[in-house]
Amino acid sequence: MMGNEAAALVSAALAARKNAYVPYSGYPVGAAVLGEDGNIFTGCNVENVSYPAGMCAERNAIGSAVTAGYTSFQGIAVAGSDKGFTMPCGICRQVIAEFHIPVVIVAKDEDHYKIFDGSKLLPHAFEEGCLKTGERNG
């Protein structure tokens, strides 16, 4: 992923963060996923008074892309707190693993972000082969 693509993803994630619905935690998160053809899909976290019913920004962005027919991605950016780097939660890491998203960017702002290898965020992820063999990865 080139620097311009990373910057565009970070910018889109920061814009999506502004729309987060976070009346309980006050912790907005935005995400943007880049399709193989360069289209960007965004999502934000949406809380619910019944906490498990909430949705993370990453899964909302990926779900939006899948709804549009995309299942192959170049990368995803996550923008949470501007005071630190917000990493995807375990469930989001599993979804990132499902779609083999190769690049994960976590950003505080437009100028401060870190880039991670998506395949290393969830060692021993549960994958399709696990269903066939009955064994977990790793």
- The model's pLDDT over 41-94, given as tens digits with 9 standing for 90+, comes to 999 999 999 999 999 999 999 999 999 999 999 999 999 999 999 999 999 999
What pLDDT shows up at residue 42?
98
Domain count across the chain? 1
Distance between CA 81 and CA 83 in Å, rounded? 5
49 known member of a binding site: yes
What DSSP string describes 42-93?
EEE-B--SSGGG-B-HHHHHHHHHHHTT---EEEEEEE--SSS-----HHHH
- Could you tell me the pLDDT band of residue 128, with boundaries at 50, 70 and 90? confident
Position 101 in a domain = yes
Residues labelled as active-site residues: 58
Distance between CA 91 and CA 97 in Å, rounded? 10
Q: Let me know how long the chain is.
A: 138
| CATH number of the domain enclosing 60 | 3.40.140.10
Counting residues of the chain whose pLDDT is more than 70, the rounded percentage is 96
What are the structure tokens assigned to 41, written together?
């899909």
Look at strands 103-109 and 73-79 and give their pairing.
Answer: parallel
10 known member of a binding site: no
Domain that holds residue 16: 4-133
27 known member of a binding site: no
Residue 2 has pLDDT above 80, yes or no: no
